[in-house]
Amino acid sequence: MGLDDILLNKISSIVGQRGLLTGEDVTARSCDPFTHLPPRSRAIIRPNSTGEVASVMALCHGANQRIVFHGGCTGVAGGAIAGVNDIVLSLERMNRVVDIDPVGMTMLVEAGATLEAVQNAAASHGLLYPIDLGSKGSATIGGTIATNAGGNRVIRWGMTRQNVSGLEAVLADGTVVTQLNRFLKNNTGYDLKQFFIGSEGTLGVVTNAVLKLVPAPSTQNVAFASVPSFEALLELLVLARRMPQLSAFEVMWQDYYALVAEHDATRRPLAPELPFYVLVEAMGYDEEGDERRFTLFLEEAFERGLIADALPAQSGKQAADLWRVREASDILVREMGPFISFDVSVDVRRAEDFVNSVRTALHEHFALVRSIAFGHLGDSNIHIGVHIGPDTLRHAFEIEDCVYGVVSQFGGALTAEHGVGTAKRHFLSNHISAQSLATMGLIRHALDPNRRLNPEVLFPSKA
Window 253-282: residues binding its own copies (CB under 8 A): none
Contact 251, 152 (CB under 8 A): no
Torsion angle (degrees, nearest 10) of CA 19, 12, 6, 444: 50
Touching its own copies, residues 300-319 (CB under 8 A): none
Q: Is 220 in the site for its own copies (CB under 8 A)?
A: no
242-278 as b/e: b if 16+ CB within 10 A: ebebbbbbbbbbbbbbbbbbebeeebebbebebbbbb
Window 430-459: contact mask with its own copies (x via CB under 8 A): -xxx-xxxxxx-xx-xxx----------x-
Q: Order across the sheet with 176-179: list the strands.
A: 97-101, 106-110, 205-212, 164-170, 176-179
Cβ closer to its own copies: 234 or 270? 234
Touching its own copies, residues 335-354 (CB under 8 A): 345-349
Tell me the closest approach of the beta carbon of residue 293 to its own copies, in angstroms.
5
Q: Is 153 in the site for its own copies (CB under 8 A)?
A: no
Touching its own copies, residues 370-389 (CB under 8 A): 376, 378-381
Tell me the closest approach of the beta carbon of residue 12 to its own copies, in angstroms.
26
Q: Is 134 in the site for its own copies (CB under 8 A)?
A: no
Alpha carbon 132 to chain centroid distance? 9
Touching its own copies, residues 85-104 (CB under 8 A): 101-104
Stretch that binds its own copies, among 191-199, 316-324, 329-337, 386-394 (CB under 8 A): 191-199
Cβ closer to its own copies: 214 or 258? 214
Tell me the closest approach of the beta carbon of residue 438 to its own copies, in angstroms.
7
The neighbouring-strand residues paired with 212 are: 106
Stretch that binds its own copies, among 30-38, 65-73, 159-167, 306-314 (CB under 8 A): 159-167
Phi, psi of 37 (to 5 degrees): -60, 125
Among 24, 190, 391, 461, binds its own copies (CB under 8 A): 190
Among 99, 273, 286, 287, binds its own copies (CB under 8 A): 286
Tell me the closest approach of the beta carbon of residue 186 to its own copies, in angstroms.
4
Q: Is 406 in the site for its own copies (CB under 8 A)?
A: no
Tell me the closest approach of the beta carbon of residue 372 to its own copies, in angstroms.
20
How many residues in the shown chain lie near its own copies by CB under 8 A?
Answer: 88
Q: Is 162 in the site for its own copies (CB under 8 A)?
A: yes
Q: Is 461 in the site for its own copies (CB under 8 A)?
A: no
Phi, psi of 276 (to 5 degrees): -140, 150
Q: Is 192 in the site for its own copies (CB under 8 A)?
A: yes
Contact 47, 14 (CB under 8 A): yes
Tally the C-alpha atoms within 13 A of residue 118's C-alpha that lie toward its C-beta.
Answer: 33
Contact 382, 345 (CB under 8 A): yes
| DSSP of 304-333 | TTS-SEEEE-SSHHHHHHHHHHH--HHHHH
Strands (DSSP E) contained in 327-369 are: 340-345
Q: Is 148 in the site for its own copies (CB under 8 A)?
A: yes
Stretch that binds its own copies, among 27-35, 174-182, 365-373, 394-402 (CB under 8 A): 174-182
Tell me the closest approach of the beta carbon of residue 212 to its own copies, in angstroms.
10
Among candidates 463, 348, 344, 361, which has minimal Cα distance to 415? 344
Alpha carbon 165 to chain centroid distance? 18
Q: Is 186 in the site for its own copies (CB under 8 A)?
A: yes
| DSSP of 38-53 | PP-SSEEE--SSHHHH
CA torsion through residues 159, 436, 82, 64, sign? negative
d(CA 359, CA 46): 45
Torsion angle (degrees, nearest 10) of CA 319, 321, 322, 325: 160
Q: Is 177 in the site for its own copies (CB under 8 A)?
A: yes
Tell me the closest approach of the beta carbon of residue 288 to its own copies, in angstroms.
9
Among 416, 422, 453, 456, binds its own copies (CB under 8 A): 416
Among 8, 107, 154, 248, binds its own copies (CB under 8 A): 154
Q: Is 107 in the site for its own copies (CB under 8 A)?
A: no
d(CA 128, CA 73): 24
Among 208, 415, 422, 454, binds its own copies (CB under 8 A): 415
Tell me the closest approach of the beta carbon of residue 147 to its own copies, in angstroms.
7
Alpha carbon 118 to chain centroid distance? 16
Q: What single letter denotes the amino acid at residue 124?
A: S
Q: Is 158 in the site for its own copies (CB under 8 A)?
A: yes
Cβ closer to its own copies: 276 or 366? 276
